[in-house]
C-alpha cells in the first residue's frame, strides 16, 4: 500500500509538471472572480448569461463573431422556440443556389450558426485599423491562464475552476481600461492585456445597454454578464459534463470498494 | 508456461471448440495456470493500466475518426462539431485527449518500475527493448494525434518538430519534405499524419502482444528481484493478480474520469483552441507535457552550451540536440548492457537505489525546464540536468555496478533475509 501511495504521489508530481508546460502569453494575472459554474456542482447563472447575450447582441456582435454557436443552442440559456426564431430572423444569411442557380438572402433560421459581422478576417481587419477582433466561440477556453504559477494553477484546476480563469480575464479586460495612462496613437491602455496596449476601444460604458430584466447596467454588471455568456459559449457541455461526472465517479467509487473487498478476500489465504 | 495440467472444460461447446482451436487451453495456461511471484506490489499493475489506456484510446479514437475531417479548412471545425453537435462527442473527445496523458503517466511509472527493480536484466532484455519501442511509437502517435485538431499548437508544434529532421546530414531535407508532403506543414501533412495516427496504435497493440508473450516466457520479476524457488513463492495470475489489478485499474479509471469530467483541459494548452494560423507564431511553442523532458534535452545543445562546445568541430548545435534527444531514448534500450550489476532490485543496491531516485527527479526536473522559455537560469539548469541524464546512463550505471556492495539477497521470496543461512 505504501508503494501505491508513492506511485500516486508520482502521478501528482507529473500532473504538476504538466502545469508548468502550459505557459500562456505572459500577461498580468487577472484577479480570481466568483462564478456560478465552478466547482463540482456548478451551473451557469441563466439570468446572467441571458443578459450577457443581450450585451453581445447589442454591442460586441458589431465586431466579434460567434461562428461555432447556432441560434438553436440558445435554448440552453432558457430561451423558448419562438424567441429563438425571432432572434435568428434578425440576421440575414446568404443561401443557395436556388432553382435558377442564384444565391439569395434569407432570414437566419434557428439551425443556422451565428452570422459573423465580417465576411472574413481581412474584412474584419480592414474595418478595425488592422486589428482582428477574435471570434468569441472559444475565447474563454483559449484565454484560460493561471499558468506559469504552478501551485496556483494546480489548486485552481483541482478545485474545479476549469477554464474559469479565461472568464476572469475577459472580466478584468473589460474593466481594466485606464485612459490616464500614456499609450500609442490608436491604442488603449489596459491593465490586463499583454503589453497593455489594446486596439479595441473600451466597448462598454455605464448603461451601454438597457437590460430587459431591469438590472442596472453598470460596467461591472455588464462585464460579468458577458463573461458568463462567453464561458457558456466556450463550454456548452459543462453542466451535462459535471452532472454526468458525478454519477460516473460515484459508480467508480462503489466499484472500487467492491474490488478492494474482493481482492482482500482472495488474498486472505496467501502467506506473506 | 510452466506446466499446469491441461484443463478439463465442463462446457461442451467450449470443449468442442478447444479441441479444434485450443484458445481456451491457451488462455487457461497463460492466465489461470501462469504463476507470478506472490510479493508483487502495485507497481506491477501499471502494465494492466497501460493496456486499459491503449484499448480506451483505440475505441475512443475510432469513434472520433467517424466524425473527424482531416483537411486544413475543416479539421478544427470538425473537432468543435464533435464537441458541440455530436451526442456525447465531448465525452469521447475528452476521453481521448486526456487518455493520451493518462497513458503516458502510467507508462512512465511502468518504466520507472522496470528501472528500480531491475526488470530489464537477464532474462528480460527483449521485454524491455519491446517496451522502449512501444514508448517511441507512442510518442510518434501522440505527436501526430496532437496535430489533428489543427489548432495553433498543433500547427506550430508540427512545424518545430518536423523541422528538426532537417538537421540530419544529407537525407535531412528529403525526410522533411517526405513528412510534409510538400514544402511546409500543410494539408498533405495533416492527411498523412491522420493515416499514420490511425495505423500506429495497432502496431503498438501488436508489439504489446509480443511484449506480453515474452513476459510469459521469463515470468514476472518482483520487488526482491530474485527468481521464485517453487510454488510456495507464487500465486496464479488468475484469480490473484486479476483481483489486484482490477483494484488498480479502477483507481486509474477514477483518475482518468476526474480529468475528463472536471478538468478536461488541464493538461492541454489553451492556444490549441485558436485555429491554426501559419502567419501568427505563438509567444511560446511548447509540446505536450509528456515530451518536455526530451524537449529540454534537445534545447540543451546551444552554441554556448558546455555540452556542445567539445563536439562543435564535428556538427552543428541543432544536429547535436537532435542526436542527443534520440540518444536519450535509444540508450534506454541498451540499459540491460549498461548496467553491470548482477543484482536486479534496488532494494538490495544501496548506492544505485539513490541514483535511480535522483535520475527520476532529474527527468521530472527536465520536464519542468522543457516547459519554460529558453532564458535565464532555465538554460543553465537544463545543461546540467541533461549532463546528469547522460552521466547516469553512460558512466554511473556501469561503474556503480562494478564497485557497489549489494546487500545480502533473501534466500527466497517467502523467506525473510534474516534466515538466509540455508
Ligand atoms: C496509442 C494510442 C493513441 C494515442 C496516444 C493518441 C493520442 C492522441 C492525441 C494526443 C490527440 C490530440 C487530442 C486533442 O487535442 O484533441 C489525438 C487526436 C485524435 N486521435 Fe488519437 N491517439 C491514439 C489512438 C487513436 C486511434 C486508434 C484513433 C482512430 C483510429 C485515433 C484517432 C484520433 C482522432 C480522429 C483525433 C482528432 C480528434 C481530436 O483532436 O479530438 N487515435 N490522439
In three-state secondary structure terms, B344 is coil
For residue A150, name the pLDDT band (cuts at 50, 70, 90). low
Looking at per-residue confidence, does B232 or A23 come out higher? B232
Q: How many domains does chain B have?
A: 2
- Distance (angstroms) between ligand 1 centre and the Cα of B59 equals 10
- Same domain flag for B247 and B324: no
Q: Identify which of B91, B264, B283 has the shortest CB distance to residue A25.
A: B283
pLDDT digit string, tens, across residues A224-269? 999 999 999 999 999 999 999 999 999 999 999 999 999 999 999 8
- Same domain flag for B315 and B209: no
- Same domain flag for B263 and B320: no
Smallest CA-to-CA distance from B299 within B398, B203, B161 is with B161
- Same domain flag for B345 and B382: yes
pLDDT given for residue B5 in this prediction = 60
Minimum distance, in Å, between the CA of residue A239 and any CA atom of chain B: 10
- Looking at the domain assignment, is residue B60 inside a domain? yes
Atom of ligand 1 nearest to the CA of B93: 41
* In contact, B387 and A36? CB cutoff 8 Å: no
What is the C-alpha to C-alpha distance for residues B324 and B330, in angstroms, rounded to an integer? 10
pLDDT given for residue B416 in this prediction = 60
Euclidean distance between the first and the last CA atom of chain A, given in angstroms as a whole number: 14
Atom of ligand 1 nearest to the CA of B151: 15
pTM beyond 0.90: yes
- Same domain flag for B273 and B125: yes
pLDDT digit string, tens, across residues A86-140? 999 999 999 999 999 999 999 999 999 999 999 999 999 999 999 999 999 999 9
Smallest CA-to-CA distance from A115 within A137, A89, A91, A139 is with A91
Minimum distance, in Å, between the CA of residue B250 and any CA atom of chain A: 6
Which residues of B are annotated as catalytic?
Answer: 216, 220, 244-245, 288
Q: Identify which of A23, A144, A259 has the shortest CB distance to residue B247.
A: A259
Whether A177 has a pLDDT exceeding 70, the answer reads yes
pLDDT given for residue B415 in this prediction = 75
Whether A11 has a pLDDT exceeding 70, the answer reads no
- Same domain flag for B399 and B309: yes
pLDDT given for residue A179 in this prediction = 94
- Looking at the domain assignment, is residue B43 inside a domain? yes
Last residue of a domain, one of B248, B278, B308: B278
Last residue of a domain, one of B221, B253, B278: B278
Suggest the residue from B273, B278, B363, B375 to mutate for an interface test with chain A (most A CBs closer than 10 A): B273
pLDDT digit string, tens, across residues A193-203? 999 999 999 99
- Same domain flag for B353 and B385: yes
Report the CATH number that the domain containing residue B38 is assigned in CATH.
1.20.810.10
- Same domain flag for B239 and B96: yes
pLDDT given for residue A14 in this prediction = 46
- Same domain flag for B267 and B308: no
- Looking at the domain assignment, is residue B399 inside a domain? yes
Last residue of a domain, one of B219, B251, B278: B278
A141 close to B (CB below 8 A) = yes
- Looking at the domain assignment, is residue B168 inside a domain? no
- Looking at the domain assignment, is residue B274 inside a domain? yes
Determine if ligand 1 sits within 6 Å of the CB of residue B269. no
What is the C-alpha to C-alpha distance for residues B60 and B4, in angstroms, rounded to an integer? 38
- Looking at the domain assignment, is residue B187 inside a domain? no
Pocket test for ligand 1, best of B79, B82, B148 (most atoms within 8 A of CB): B148
Whether A16 has a pLDDT exceeding 90, the answer reads no
B279 close to A (CB below 8 A) = no
What stretches in chain B show pLDDT beneath 50?
Answer: 1-3, 417-422
Determine if ligand 1 sits within 6 Å of the CB of residue B287. no
- Same domain flag for B226 and B349: no
Whether A18 has a pLDDT exceeding 80, the answer reads no
Q: Whose CA is nearest to atom 4 of ligand 1?
A: B142
- Looking at the domain assignment, is residue B9 inside a domain? no
**What is the span of the domain harbouring residue B308?**
292-408
- Looking at the domain assignment, is residue B155 inside a domain? no
- Same domain flag for B391 and B306: yes
Q: Long-range contacts: A130-133, Cβ < 8 Å, 24+?
A: A130/A199, A131/A199, A131/A200, A133/A63, A133/A64, A133/A65, A133/A200
For residue A4, name the pLDDT band (cuts at 50, 70, 90). very low
Smallest CA-to-CA distance from B137 within B213, B195, B205 is with B205
Q: Identify which of B255, B260, B269 has the shortest CB distance to residue A11.
A: B255
- Same domain flag for B262 and B402: no
* In contact, A27 and A145? CB cutoff 8 Å: yes
Amino acid at each position: 500500500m505504501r508503494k501505491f501511495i508513492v506511485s500516486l504521489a508520482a502521478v501528482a508530481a507529473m500532473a504538476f509538471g504538466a502545469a508548468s508546460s502550459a505557459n500562456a502569453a505572459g500577461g498580468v494575472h487577472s484577479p480570481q472572480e466568483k462564478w456560478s459554474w465552478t466547482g463540482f456542482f456548478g451551473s451557469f447563472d441563466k439570468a446572467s448569461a441571458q443578459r450577457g447575450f443581450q450585451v453581445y447582441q447589442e454591442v460586441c456582435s458589431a465586431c466579434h463573431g460567434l461562428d461555432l454557436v447556432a441560434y438553436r443552442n440558445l435554448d440552453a440559456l432558457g430561451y423558448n422556440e419562438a424567441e429563438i426564431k425571432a432572434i435568428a430572423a434578425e440576421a440575414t444569411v446568404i443561401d443557395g443556389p436556388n432553382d435558377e442557380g442564384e444565391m439569395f438572402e434569407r432570414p437566419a433560421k434557428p439551425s443556422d450558426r451565428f452570422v459573423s459581422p465580417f465576411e472574413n478576417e481581412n474584412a474584419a481587419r480592414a474595418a478595425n485599423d488592422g486589428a482582428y477582433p477574435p471570434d468569441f466561440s472559444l475565447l474563454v477556453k483559449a484565454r484560460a491562464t493561471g499558468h506559469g504559477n504552478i501551485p496556483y494553477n494546480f489548486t485552481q484546476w483541482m478545485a474545479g475552476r476549469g477554464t474559469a480563469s479565461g472568464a476572469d480575464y475577459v472580466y478584468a479586460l473589460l474593466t481594466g481600461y485606464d485612459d490616464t495612462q500614456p499609450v500609442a496613437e490608436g491604442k488603449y491602455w489596459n491593465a490586463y492585456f499583454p503589453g497593455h496596449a489594446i486596439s479595441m476601444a473600451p466597448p462598454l460604458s455605464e448603461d451601454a445597454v438597457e437590460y430587459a430584466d431591469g438590472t442596472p447596467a453598470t460596467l461591472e454588471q455588464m462585464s460579468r454578464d458577458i463573461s458568463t455568456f462567453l464561458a457558456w459559449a466556450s463550454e456548452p457541455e459543462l453542466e451535462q459534463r459535471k452532472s454526468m461526472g458525478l454519477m460516473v465517479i460515484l459508480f467508480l467509487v462503489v466499484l472500487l470498494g467492491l474490488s478492494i473487498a474482493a481482492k482482500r478476500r482472495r488474498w486472505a489465504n496467501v502467506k506473506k | 508456461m510452466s506446466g499446469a495440467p491441461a484443463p478439463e472444460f465442463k462446457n461442451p461447446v467450449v470443449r468442442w471448440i478447444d479441441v479444434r482451436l485450443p484458445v481456451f487451453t491457451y488462455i487457461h495456461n497463460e492466465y489461470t495456470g501462469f504463476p507470478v511471484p506472490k510479493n508483487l506490489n502495485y507497481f506491477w499493475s501499471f502494465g494492466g493500466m497501460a493496456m486499459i489506456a491503449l484499448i480506451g484510446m483505440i475505441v475512443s479514437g475510432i469513434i472520433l475518426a467517424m466524425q473527424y475531417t482531416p483537411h486544413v479548412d475543416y479539421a478544427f471545425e470538425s473537432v468543435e462539431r464533435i464537441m458541440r453537435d455530436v451526442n456525447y462527442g465531448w465525452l469521447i473527445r475528452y476521453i481521448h485527449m486526456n487518455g493520451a496523458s493518462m497513458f503516458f503517466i502510467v507508462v512512465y511509472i511502468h518504466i520507472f518500475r522496470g528501472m528500480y527493480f531491475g526488470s530489464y536484466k537477464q532474462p528480460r532484455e527483449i521485454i524491455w527493448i519491446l517496451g522502449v519501442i512501444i514508448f517511441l511509437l507512442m510518442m510518434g502517435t501522440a505527436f501526430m494525434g496532437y496535430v489533428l485538431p489543427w489548432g495553433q499548437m498543433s500547427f506550430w508544434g508540427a512545424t518545430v518538430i518536423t523541422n528538426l529532421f532537417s538537421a540530419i546530414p544529407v537525407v535531412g531535407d528529403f525526410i522533411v519534405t517526405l513528412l510534409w508532403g510538400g514544402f511546409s506543414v500543410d494539408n498533405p501533412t495533416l492527411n498523412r499524419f491522420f493515416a499514420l495516427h490511425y495505423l500506429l496504435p495497432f502496431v503498438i497493440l501488436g508489439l504489446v502482444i509480443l511484449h506480453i508473450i515474452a513476459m510469459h516466457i521469463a515470468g514476472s520479476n518482483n520487488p526482491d528481484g530474485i527468481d521464485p524457488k517453487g510454488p510456495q513463492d507464487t500465486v496464479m495470475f488468475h484469480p490473484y493478480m486479476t483481483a489486484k489489478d482490477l483494484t488498480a485499474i479502477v483507481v486509474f479509471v477514477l483518475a482518468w474520469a476526474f480529468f475528463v469530467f472536471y478538468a478536461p483541459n488541464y493538461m492541454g494548452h489553451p492556444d490549441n483552441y485558436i485555429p491554426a494560423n501559419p502567419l501568427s507564431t505563438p509567444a511560446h511553442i511548447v509540446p505536450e507535457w509528456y515530451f518536455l523532458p526530451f524537449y529540454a534535452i534537445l534545447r540543451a545543445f546551444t552554441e554556448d552550451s558546455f555540452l556542445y562546445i567539445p563536439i562543435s568541430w564535428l556538427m552543428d548545435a541543432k544536429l547535436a540536440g537532435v542526436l542527443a534527444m534520440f540518444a536519450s531514448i535509444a540508450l534506454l534500450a541498451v540499459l540491460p548492457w549498461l548496467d553491470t550489476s548482477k543484482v536486479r532490485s534496488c532494494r538490495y543496491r544501496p548506492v544505485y537505489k539513490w541514483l535511480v531516485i535522483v535520475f527520476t527527479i532529474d527527468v521530472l526536473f527536465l520536464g519542468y525546464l522543457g516547459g519554460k522559455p529558453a532564458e535565464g537560469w532555465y538554460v543553465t539548469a537544463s545543461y546540467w540536468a541533461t549532463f546528469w541524464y547522460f552521466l547516469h546512463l553512460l558512466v554511473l550505471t556501469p561503474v556503480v555496478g562494478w564497485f557497489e556492495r549489494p546487500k545480502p539477497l533473501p534466500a527466497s521470496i517467502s523467506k525473510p533475509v534474516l534466515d538466509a543461512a540455508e
